[in-house]
Structure 1
């Protein structure tokens, strides 16, 4: 058959005009902001230091790409670069090989079959062994030289045949003597007194043998040895005569627990063997200690531990008392749509805490949604869903200052579905600001206004300011009679809830227009406000603000409930916020978290968004923590001193005031930001106002009664005696009291 007939590919001639090059498209260069460049300058040395510890090198471009792709996460960037710089394993190299054709695969298969005839099947070596060998070790066993079947040395083919027959005859004689008809290869190995391979056969002494003796075979002459060149030794260095462990020996000497560890390379063994021994008090430490297989974790980059300055916080706090302003945190409560967020937005704007350009931006965005009047409320409601629905979900924090006081606003939600969030915000406050819509007093009194007043008293608030809002939109603008009617109805409710008359203040105002919020009102309709000596809202807040922390609170053990958990910044990956109820702390202190039972170090402290060296009881602060994982912290946990931690318990004894009838039943237990399901196990007794017993083991508790009950929580919580508890059932407040 000719060459032409064997041609299978058609030859096609191409002209140069038929070929073309694809145009090169220049990829747009990524532009970095000043903040990105600062992050590169700060984090690139950290990543490089981690790579140098692992004896790896990477260019600045590779490090910057890793930081950019992982959003400035140093730990993930280091892990990625280390994995990319590691040498490729054999499996990875095999995956990248080009796919072979069927002809090449058939050729390799035939070559493997021919080689397998000369190789020992390694799996059969370990078929009956008592120990367990991993598959990856089995596949790595390769014989040092091809196995060949034993053949007789010297002699002709007739003599070889005669020797083979005599060997078979001796084998049959031995089997008959032992009484066995057949014997497998494994049985021959395990038999105590059996022949072995290469053993001389036992042949009977017969006359034929004496007549024709068999000559002994000569051993083959070994080939002459070639002279070995002498090894050249370096000056000052002795040769290492120890042999490296084989794969087989390493497999047998390694336990099952150690097989998950990485395998040592030859260079690692040699480097450890040549390492100088260390001298200790007990003698020399073995060089094999440097062969430790424990590798450092790459999950996170170790941060430098912050040391405490050892400040005398109570003394410093007392010395700064003359220079310090009065401070207070107040929670804004009231029925939904009564204008709480709008009033607070106006207060922040008039005090300069929010710029006018921000309000203009909010007005433009609100007008696009058809909600122009919500622009001021968006200062407090920062969530997208809150702005679209016009309802506050969770309490928000804002800070502002005047010439005499520092304030923290806790804007609580007014909807009944978010009462637990309102309880969490009220538990951090020093006083309450109740906002009442003068046009919707009845709906508020039947709704959340009454419940919020009761909850404010339940969490321990003693002072309350009532802002009668929207007086500019009543039937007659700024009607004094309307204000008097609202004042009388709310005062009655406050007295029934237990507020003293000296701790109540009323302020007529309009949050939308800003009248009587930060400044005195102007106009003929508002002249009665000055005559009645009703100050603006800001002055009423200043009159109620006092020193929140006392020396007796500072000397008690540290207690702070975690209200929020978040990522502060790149350098502060874990931050918590809350109000310190007792004690004090400073930068570098080691704190204890319950119920997780974990410790953490305070890396930095912020009070009113300003860095501080310490924080004391009564302050709402943000703590940046390190040496702890976020999985050990959640909202409602207690941060306490390591020397005197809070006890974790499931069983509580409560002294409560009953709002709705109660039986031994499931309830929701609320203590600040902590919300847990529980069950009232026992109604112990009803008591009077002095705590004396009235009736033992009542069957049911009615509204208005005081009683002692035992409550069991579904899971353990960090709760101490004296903590204030709210019990809710079916979406309504059932009782409130204290832990005994």
Structure 2
């Protein structure tokens, strides 16, 4: 018995074809689409020589949501005949059971096709298969005379054979075998194939050749055991030998008997061998040390000579040319690197041959005008992009001053590198494109002026570049517009008018850079009223290394860590802020608190025994691991180091609104993350407190704030710093107190 559930369906649940017909009704919008797209589809089908009805085209458009290309592709596929694909089935190997069945079937069908195979089934079981009868061939016409003659001949031969039989059956059988066989008349003679004959070759001897008969083995001689006892000395033989039994055969034996102490004693032999071994060891050690000195860098510590650097510096100062480092700043693509390349070429620091090589390489990249810029932009990325990325450093000398160029990047993405270059400079060269003044002011020109002043650069030379490309060329009015636009920015940043110089020039053509302009032509006013760029730089050089700075404890911020050479595997570069250092001194590295020894000093690429404050130098260090060195660390006097701290009280000048917030702190090469945790007070120009604990410091106001770094840094009171947030500079100032 089955239990069946009764399900009652309503009329709405049943399917009817009316719904499909209702769904198939198109709206007015659909019909408009059909009217518009159907001719398009039909035209493409006609080009392919295909035909389709309106109904088929409309269904294709409807199902492909009015996509003409898909509808045409669908209709083409449905009307293009496809070749029949043959599916060849691979025969699978038959099993043994199938093979047995097949054989049995073949045996059962052996009698198919025989006339009596159509007998009734009842009679088929009585049929027994038998072998077919084969007819023996017989001579035509029965027995012939030839056959009878052959039979008689065989009988006679057999009788003769039996008559000549001998009792020795073995001999008879051999004779029978040796007798030639009688040919039968009815048999055809057998043809023997000719055997192929090959030329005879001389037999080679076997390899290896046959061994000669080995000689009779002889009994090996008895092994003589070495005597473990040494022979007696002459003196011993004299004591142990009977003088009567000694026979002297030669003069040497006579001398030996007469002087028994002529041979060395056993102790002397031992001493001689020991001395020979020591001599060979010493020679091997000397050879090993010599090879190490030739193939490995010498890491021997250099002892300090104990020079009185302050006294030597004071004595040599009147004889030495003044030195200065200037940073080149300005907006991107205003010609900073090209102008410096022209300056180095005209002063002889770079040869014309190098410029020609750079020009050839730049022409291959389609940047022929960048040849002078490649003097400063040495990196592959900088040359490909045509933008300075990092600080480029170059030394050159004139008759009066030793200069160091610090070419800073102008792009806003590389502001930290620009700050690092400005922190090591004594003066700045601001390059302005006379044809794109507005873009520079809105861009990085104004920010670079503020950052240079914040880094302590008090003198600036404004190089108004590309005046030869103005309309008209060398327009004095254009220069006056540049002076009128830039002077307010310089004054607002704190530059005094006597420390600002303007120089009209053209870096690409080298006009008024090193060589003065001609007093004839459109640029005659330049020769009459302005000096060259090089002359202005020499006039702005002021003494920056005072005796007070040299006497102060050693302070030097690391600008770069690199491998100097094979003999100097670890080197650092930077500007000495205060103090002095000499070869062999032990210095302290902060904040790692690691000690290192100075193995060598280089200033301007030349080796020196000492360096003082204000010089950009390279120190070759030893006895320290590279992991304890990084850009931004401080090299200090080991006896009076700078302590590392995280909390600082700073005095800021706001360039934008300041709140307690996360910031990025820049001090030269140091780039540290931190935050302003509290705004202590706002102050006026005289330094008096205006308001305590303000909520916000607006742009242009001065304030005292508490700054906390995420990691410790070696910073002292009086250190200038720049605070940035979200890619822009929001404040500049200096540290009032460290650790407070």
Q: TM-score, normalized by length of structure 2? A: 0.59
Q: Does 1:524 align with 2:521?
A: yes
SS at match of 1:702: coil
Which residue does 2:642 correspond to in 1?
646
SS at match of 2:485: helix
Deviations 1:293-323 (A, max 9, x none): xxxxxxx977111011111111111111111
Deviations 1:88-134 (A, max 9, x none): xxxxxxxxxxxxxxxxxxxxxxxxxxxxxxxxxxxxxxxxxxxxxxx
Match of 1:549 among 532, 545, 549: 545
Which residue does 1:540 correspond to in 2?
536
Q: Distance in 1 between matches of 2:516 and 2:504?
A: 11
Q: Distance in 1 between matches of 2:392 and 2:448?
A: 17
Mean alpha-carbon deviation: is it higher for 557-566 or for 322-331?
Answer: 322-331
Which residue does 2:717 correspond to in 1?
721
CA shift at 1:691, angstroms? 1.6
Match of 2:333 among 337, 340, 350: 337
Which residue does 2:574 correspond to in 1?
578
Listed as ranges, the gaps of 5+ residues in structure 1 are: 1-15, 17-230, 234-299
Match of 2:302 among 306, 314, 319: 306
Q: Does 1:497 align with 2:493?
A: yes
Q: Distance in 1 between matches of 2:522 and 2:383?
A: 33
Q: Does 1:448 align with 2:441?
A: no
SS at match of 2:537: helix
Which residue does 2:178 correspond to in 1?
none
Q: Does 1:364 align with 2:360?
A: yes
Match of 2:562 among 554, 559, 566: 566
Q: Does 1:417 align with 2:413?
A: yes
Match of 2:633 among 629, 637, 655: 637
Deviations 1:575-615 (A, max 9, x none): 10000000000011111100111111111111111111100
Deviations 1:628-679 (A, max 9, x none): 1111100000001000001100111100000010110000000000000101
CA shift at 1:529, angstroms? 1.1
Q: How does 1:689-700 map to 2 (within 5 A)?
A: 689-700=685-696
Where does structure 1 differ by over 2 angstroms across 4 or more consecutive aligned residues?
A: none
**Residues 232 and 639 of structure 1: CA distance in aligned 2, closer, same or farther (over 3 Å):** farther
Q: Does 1:671 align with 2:667?
A: yes
Q: How many residues align?
A: 448
Which residue does 1:351 correspond to in 2?
347
CA shift at 1:547, angstroms? 2.3
Q: Does 1:603 align with 2:603?
A: no
Q: Distance in 2 between matches of 1:514 and 1:324?
A: 30
Query: Does structure 1 retain, via aligned residues, the 8 Å contact 2:297–2:566?
Result: no
Q: Distance in 1 between matches of 2:732 and 2:367?
A: 39
Q: Distance in 2 between matches of 1:305 and 1:572?
A: 12
Query: Does structure 1 retain, via aligned residues, the 8 Å contact 2:298–2:567?
Result: no
Match of 1:480 among 476, 479, 488: 476
Match of 1:627 among 602, 623, 626: 623
Deviations 1:496-534 (A, max 9, x none): 1110000000000000000000010124111101222x1
SS at match of 2:619: strand
Query: Does structure 1 retain, via aligned residues, the 8 Å contact 2:297–2:567?
Result: no
Query: Does structure 1 retain, via aligned residues, the 8 Å contact 2:581–2:611?
Result: yes
Structure with bigger gyration radius:
2
Listed as ranges, the gaps of 5+ residues in structure 2 are: 1-203, 205-227, 231-295
Q: Distance in 1 between matches of 2:394 and 2:527?
A: 29
